[in-house]
Structure 1
Amino acid sequence: MTPKLLGVSTLRHDLLASFVVFLVAIPLSLGIAVASGAPIAAGLIAAIVGGIVAGLVGGSPLQVSGPAAGLTVIVAELVQTYGWRATCTITLLGGLLQIALGASRVARAALAVSPAVVHGMLAGVGLVLVLAQAHVVLGGSPQQSALDNLRELPGQILDPSTHPALLGGITVLALLAWSRLPRGGGRFGTALRLVPGPLPAIALATLTAWSLGWTAPRVDLPDSLLGGWQAPVMPHGTPHAIVGAVVSVGLVAAVESLLCGVAVDRRRPAGVPRADLDRDLLGQGAANAVSGLLGGLPVAGVIVRSTANVEAGARTRASTVLHGVWVLVLALLCGPVIEQVPLAALAALLMVLGFRLMDTARVRDLRHHREAPAYFATLAGVVVLGLGEGVLLGIGIMAVLALRRLTRLSVRAEQLVPVSGDEPGPPRWHVVVEGTLTFLGVPKLTRLLQSVPQGASVDLDLDVDFMDHAAFDAVHQWRLAHERQGGRVDIDEVHETWYEGAVTGDMSSPPKKSPPARWWAPWANRRRRQEAELDGPEVSPSALLLAGVREYHGRTAPLVRPIMAELSMEQKPEHLFITCVDSRVVPNIITASGPGDLFINRNVGNMVPRHGSRTPDDSVAATVEYATSVLDIRTITICGHSNCGAMAALLAGGTEVEHLEGLTRWLRHGNQSLARFLATEHTDEPPLTRLCKINVMQQLDNLLTYPWLRERVEAGEIELVGLYLDLKTANVQVLDRPAGTFVPVPDEVTL
């Protein structure tokens, strides 16, 4: 009976999710078809084929495929150059190319394209969409290039068509208003969350145009979905240009689909299998071949629809396939309704989508990695030159940046000051060379070495990961010349022995070991190295623990042994640190402290039972007493964190843990925090975040219920501190107790 019930439950989730994705797909498919200059039916055909074919064959169960905004610019150029039927042939051939790539199992190679180039391409496509569809919203027609659209836009703004402009404005306002509607609890709130914003926005604009009789161009569907179908024809042009078009469609659609598949795979629920990227490429290729044959737009994995599918609770690929079935049913039975949709409303929807593609948060992330130039170069290239040229420009910029990083070299020298009492001798110099030492860095290195005085004693540290022959020859010849003139050179190679190997003639590469992981990194980040160490694919928890101990003995123990020897007979911590048992909270990391600094008490929810509580528990009180009375600690810190499971259980009324008797009793110590939460005004913060912060404030107040501790706090002998760790950003905030808010930790401590 269990499998049957599980199957019914899964089907129920997939059925609901398929309707949600279907509601998202309809307006976007129509709008992308209009923006591409293709027949309206081509968008519906692509949505149907993407859902059914890619859903059945593809390797990412929850990814939803269909016409993608990222391909709009390519398709529009192809339609203008070769015509629609020839564009269908290019789509079909692009699908066959994807099938060949998938069969060759090279899918992951497409992920080598830098995200800076991909996001720059999407931002450029978004800007091109906005410039083109702005003309449609204002009652005009888009020009053949983005620059022409930009040049003609001021005149279009000064002379708009009233009704299309109003319908476009209604659509945008409805989208913005829908995204800001409160999503309360209950069935109504749940149903409201499931309705995607584009549907009510397009419905409102359509109803307005129909009820008021406004004149505006509307969707024009053929009598039947495949009415007037004609076989694709070969495009007329040079073989070079045609092959370039096929490769552009195939590769851009493949990269966009694979990136979407990876993103969805990271968010997949428990029990959903991992994505098979090679199989997914086969599925995308099959869908593009069928879509091109039937007269549809190119197909790719679409992050908007895929995200909606996951958030709606999809469990299997049945949701993706069913969404394609619903589009087919709508196209066959509801053509007259679709034909009432104003083109201006679809154009406004695409303008909003275009603005969302220009995600400024991506720029901030890329700036940290110094990859923003590639992003902006790709964006500008797509707008000014075209999509293919813009992507190639971005790839070229990334290659230049990568080459610059590979040849980055730091060279510095300083004269060592003799220690008082040393016998006088030749001057001593310390020269440090860091980075990759190739012929490109020889001029810089030679210039610095020649500045070292003759006869000086030189300590040369070579901290380089590679040294070519030109660099070796420059260093070696300088060394020989310097020693002939009475100087002395001691060369110390910090890592690899490139210089020594070149001198001795032994250039055989020593066996490489996996680079040591950061000591603070989770085991999961180091599992591959530890699995290799244990010579097996499976690592038991105890073996993983012992592998970590061995790493500690080999790397960390020798460094902390002097400190531990000093602390072995007595501890002198400076702070009592009370925090949650959550494994993601590591006190010594977030306070940059070491052995002997923190006296730590960890419990569920970082709580302090009140003095005289009806649910007695002396473990925390005993810790506080010992810390303040025996260890003479003068600071007590309560540290809470985001997404605390204990606080989530309190918000849920304890129903999820009521079968755990000990935990249920312990959570009663959080009742004051919950009451304080209910008594405070709502803010923009999520309820769980607000309760986690309020809990820190309440536990500090709970400490003051102990009379002996309150006296020492009021006398200024003990200081109470509140901290809050946001797990997502890894940032720590400190409590401003008079203001009752958490603020960033100041850059400098005022004494």
Structure 2
Amino acid sequence: MTALTQHTDNQDNSPGSRTTWRQTFGKDFTASLVVFLVALPLCVGVAVASGVPAELGIVTGIVGGIVVGLLPGSTMQVSGPAAGLTVLVADTVAKHGIAELGVIVLGAGLLQILLGVLRCGTWFRAISPAVVQGMLAGIGLVLIVGQLYPLMGGTQPSGTWAKLVGLPELTVRALTTPAGLTALGVGVLTIIVTVLWQRTPPRLSVLPGVLVGVVVATAVSVIAGFDLHRIEVGSLHDELRLPDLSLLNAGVLGAAVVFALVSSAESLFSATAVDRMHSGPRTRYNTELIAQGAGNTFCGLLGALPMTAVIVRSAANVQAGAQTKASRVLHGVWLLLFVVLLPGVLGLIPSAVLAALLVHSGWKLLGLKGVAGMLRTDRAEGAILVLTAGLIVATDLLTGTVAGLLAAVIKTAWDVSHLSVTVTPRGDDDEVVVLRGNATFLRLPRLLAVLEGLPLTKHVRLDLTGLRHLDQACQQAIDNWASRHREAGLDVDVIHAP
């Protein structure tokens, strides 16, 4: 306990601070148990969905709790394996193999630390909301499509397109075979209990719905004697491996960069959301990025899954009344004790139950209400969202996200460079040209077309008072045009903003 007191926020050795720690520890202890109960099935489910042993997901949860929990950056945010990285990890393991996963995660962690030291953390807040929402929706779609197979007792094919094509056959088999009906029934029961438990009275809802759903569905499957595929849990020692740096190549380095950027973005987006849930110390983004990098570095050295800050566990931490970092550190301790002392309990959980949890998580990532709202309020932003999500489903996470970012930059450049040019004749010899908006090089062809189209037989009054911005390229073009007009012996009045 002494070690924990040295790392809590605003902690010192004065008697007053020790009294504060004693007052908050009871709430932190209770919150840590709640977060542990939420984290345990999710750590296992994310690992299984990623195509790696379940133990590696728990190792990442332990590191996220103890290592990241002790580091400065955020107070209430909880880190561990995330559903949002499931698709990325599964694709990476399929391409590079599990042996190279540790090298990739290690590289991603070191890159995150470098980004934090260079103070790049706050830049992740500048990403377009349409791209972020599109990325989450795309990940949610891929996650749902993939997890429908174990949910219905089927074998998941490789490739998103193959999964989509196989859904009709999977559905028929699930509804017409005893094995399919059993797996689907247990999975649906998990989702129903998880969702309905959130509507129970406050005294009962202290227990997380995720845990209750898993326990109820698992208990039903065991008592009824259902013949279902269940989680296989071995020894932590057998699965942990040091990274083999001889496996470094261009593909591994590229994957490490993708892991670093995606996990950093997800962690810092989560930090923004979690900060809105409590009135305690705000997240220091660059410091939090270093903490996340340290956690991923440890995970890479152990050959475990990558980590991010996760909104579900973080929200559970806040709602359970956590006061300091002690709650998230203790949740990591409980994970460690559980996997060491009671690993056989995890072997009772059917794969369909964990698949159901991930389908539920994917549905929340999809966020149809937010997608519909964006499509109604801003069609251009909605188009970027759909483009990002669609390309993630059709290709991969990196391609879809980069394409979405490029589209957002192009849209911003278009909006920023909007220029209105109005030409109004005044009598036979005068023209009034009014410019409004932003005169940038992107609008230079249109501006020149209007100015050069004016006859060299009229006096021109060029009104620039409505411009919010006039860049060097447009300024030079206006000066050159005015000079030519004056050389022809005509008057040109250029009116600038005061």
SS state at 1:111 partner: helix
SS state at 2:243 partner: coil
More RCO (CA 8 Å, sep 6+): 2
Which structure 2 residues correspond to residues 560-575 of structure 1 after superposition, within 5 A? none
Whether 1:250 aligns to 2:248 is no
CA contact (8 A) 1:91 1:249 kept: yes
Task: For residue 300 of structure 1, report the CA deviation from its aligned partner.
Answer: 0.8
* Aligned partner of 1:11 among 25, 33, 44: 25
Could you tell me how far apart the structure 2 residues matched to 1:63 and 1:228 are?
Answer: 28
Could you tell me how far apart the structure 2 residues matched to 1:132 and 1:362 are?
Answer: 23
Q: What amino acid sits opposite 2:258 in the alignment?
A: S
CA contact (8 A) 2:241 2:301 kept: no
Match of 1:413 in 2: 423
Whether 1:493 aligns to 2:491 is no
Task: For residue 456 of structure 1, report the CA deviation from its aligned partner.
Answer: 5.2
* Aligned partner of 2:384 among 367, 370, 374: 374
Could you tell me how far apart the structure 2 residues matched to 1:109 and 1:398 are?
Answer: 15
Match of 2:225 in 1: 213
Q: Deviations over 1:572-631 (max 9, x none)?
A: xxxxxxxxxxxxxxxxxxxxxxxxxxxxxxxxxxxxxxxxxxxxxxxxxxxxxxxxxxxx
CA contact (8 A) 1:45 1:296 kept: yes
Match of 1:433 in 2: 435
Which structure 2 residues correspond to residues 12-411 of structure 1 after superposition, within 5 A? 12-160=26-174, 161-179=180-198, 181-183=199-201, 189=202, 191-222=203-234, 224-227=235-238, 229-234=240-245, 236=247, 239-269=249-279, 272-363=280-371, 364-365=373-374, 368=377, 370-411=380-421
Gap change, CA 1:440 and 1:245, over 3 Å in 2: closer
Task: For residue 151 of structure 1, report the CA deviation from its aligned partner.
Answer: 0.9
SS state at 2:142 partner: helix
Match of 1:700 in 2: none
Q: Deviations over 1:436-468 (max 9, x none)?
A: 324442342344446667765544221334445
Gap change, CA 1:39 and 1:465, over 3 Å in 2: same
CA contact (8 A) 1:60 1:261 kept: yes
Which structure 2 residues correspond to residues 513-524 of structure 1 after superposition, within 5 A? none
Task: For residue 99 of structure 1, report the CA deviation from its aligned partner.
Answer: 2.2
CA contact (8 A) 2:431 2:459 kept: yes
Match of 1:475 in 2: 478
CA contact (8 A) 1:51 1:323 kept: yes
SS state at 1:435 partner: strand
Could you tell me how far apart the structure 1 residues matched to 2:321 and 2:32 are?
Answer: 10
CA contact (8 A) 2:130 2:385 kept: yes
CA contact (8 A) 1:95 1:287 kept: yes
Gap change, CA 1:486 and 1:49, over 3 Å in 2: same
SS state at 2:433 partner: strand
Q: What amino acid sits opposite 2:192 in the alignment?
A: L
Task: Point out where structure 1 has 5 or more consecutive residues left out of the alignment.
Answer: 184-188, 417-424, 496-751
Normalising by the residue count of structure 1, what TM-score does the alignment of the two structures yield? 0.60
Task: For residue 251 of structure 1, report the CA deviation from its aligned partner.
Answer: 2.0
Match of 1:632 in 2: none
Moved more, 213-222 or 477-486: 477-486
Gap change, CA 1:397 and 1:54, over 3 Å in 2: same
Moved more, 83-92 or 241-250: 83-92
Could you tell me how far apart the structure 1 residues matched to 2:283 and 2:433 are?
Answer: 51
CA contact (8 A) 2:66 2:329 kept: yes
Could you tell me how far apart the structure 2 residues matched to 1:90 and 1:101 are?
Answer: 16
SS state at 2:237 partner: coil
Q: What amino acid sits opposite 2:191 in the alignment?
A: V
CA contact (8 A) 1:58 1:284 kept: no
Aligned pairs, number: 476
Q: Deviations over 1:311-339 (max 9, x none)?
A: 22211100110111111122222222211
SS state at 1:121 partner: helix
Task: Point out where structure 2 has 5 or more consecutive residues left out of the alignment.
Answer: 1-14, 175-179
SS state at 2:434 partner: strand
Gap change, CA 1:485 and 1:492, over 3 Å in 2: same
Gap change, CA 1:235 and 1:434, over 3 Å in 2: farther
CA contact (8 A) 2:100 2:252 kept: no
CA contact (8 A) 1:455 1:488 kept: no
Which structure 2 residues correspond to residues 572-611 of structure 1 after superposition, within 5 A? none
Q: What amino acid sits opposite 1:405 in the alignment?
A: D
CA contact (8 A) 2:197 2:205 kept: no
Moved more, 333-342 or 95-104: 95-104
Q: What amino acid sits opposite 2:111 in the alignment?
A: L
CA contact (8 A) 1:430 1:458 kept: yes
Gap change, CA 1:37 and 1:261, over 3 Å in 2: same
Q: What amino acid sits opposite 2:193 in the alignment?
A: A
Q: What amino acid sits opposite 1:86 in the alignment?
A: E
Could you tell me how far apart the structure 1 residues matched to 2:289 and 2:488 are?
Answer: 66
Moved more, 228-237 or 209-218: 228-237
What RMSD, in angstroms, separates the aligned Cα atoms of the two structures? 2.5
Gap change, CA 1:317 and 1:470, over 3 Å in 2: closer
CA contact (8 A) 1:426 1:457 kept: no
Moved more, 286-295 or 315-324: 286-295
Q: State the identity as a percent.
A: 38
CA contact (8 A) 1:82 1:235 kept: no
Gap change, CA 1:289 and 1:2, over 3 Å in 2: closer
Task: For residue 380 of structure 1, report the CA deviation from its aligned partner.
Answer: 1.5
CA contact (8 A) 2:103 2:252 kept: no
Task: For residue 431 of structure 1, report the CA deviation from its aligned partner.
Answer: 2.4
CA contact (8 A) 1:85 1:231 kept: no
CA contact (8 A) 2:240 2:304 kept: no
Normalising by the residue count of structure 2, what TM-score does the alignment of the two structures yield? 0.88
